[in-house]
C-alpha cells in the first residue's frame, strides 16, 4: 500500500502500520499522511534509497518510527522521531529483541525477523 505524503512524495514501504486511532488516514488505495510505523528491507541496490531518500521523507512528514532491515549487515536500524527529527539510529543485532514505541506490548526477536543466518542455512547436497 502506498503512503501519500504529497503530490510529489508517494512511497510504497515494505511494511507499514497504522494505529487504530489513526484509521482516518486509510483510504481505498493508500495511506494519506504518515503511518505510525514504516519498515523497509534493504538490498544492495536499494540501500541508498532506503537509508537516505526515504528516511528523509519519513522524517520530514512525521513518521514516528522507521525501521530499516539491513539483511547484509544482519541488523535493524531503528529511527524514532524526537522533536521532529530522527537522531542516531538504534542498532539491533542478532540475539537481541526490539520493542516498538508504536506497537504497544509488541516485542520481536531480530533472529526471527532476519530468518536463519548463513551459518544456519542448510547447504544443498545433491548426493
List, in order, residues 6 or more apart from 17 with CB less than 8 Å away: 35, 36, 37, 38, 102, 103
Report residue 52: phi and psi, to 5°.
Answer: -120, -70
Q: Is the pLDDT of residue 108 over 60?
A: yes
2-114: CATH topology? tt1808, chain A (3.90.1570)
Bigger pLDDT: 57 vs 125 = 57
pLDDT of residue 121: 53
Domain range annotation of the chain: 2-114
List, in order, residues 6 or more apart from 62 with CB less than 8 Å away: 33, 34, 81, 84
52: its cell numbers: 537516505
pTM: 0.82
d(CA 80, CA 33): 17
pLDDT of residue 77: 93
Amino acid at each position: 500500500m502506498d503512503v501519500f505524503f504529497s503530490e510529489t512524495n508517494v512511497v510504497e514501504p515494505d511494511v507499514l502500520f497504522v494505529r487504530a486511532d489513526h484509521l482516518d488516514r486509510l483510504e481505498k488505495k493508500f495511506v494519506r499522511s504518515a503511518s505510525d510505523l514504516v519498515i523497509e528491507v534493504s538490498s544492495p541496490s536499494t540501500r541508498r534509497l532506503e537509508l537516505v531518500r526515504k528516511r528523509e521523507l519519513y522524517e520530514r512528514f512525521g513518521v514516528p518510527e522507521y525501521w530499516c532491515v539491513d539483511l547484509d549487515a544482519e541488523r535493524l536500524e531503528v529511527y524514532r522521531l524526537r522533536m521532529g527529527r530522527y537522531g542516531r539510529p538504534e542498532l539491533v543485532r542478532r540475539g537481541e529483541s526490539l520493542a516498538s514505541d508504536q506497537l504497544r506490548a509488541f516485542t520481536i526477536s531480530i533472529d526471527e525477523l532476519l530468518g536463519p543466518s548463513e551459518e544456519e542455512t542448510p547447504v544443498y547436497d545433491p548426493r
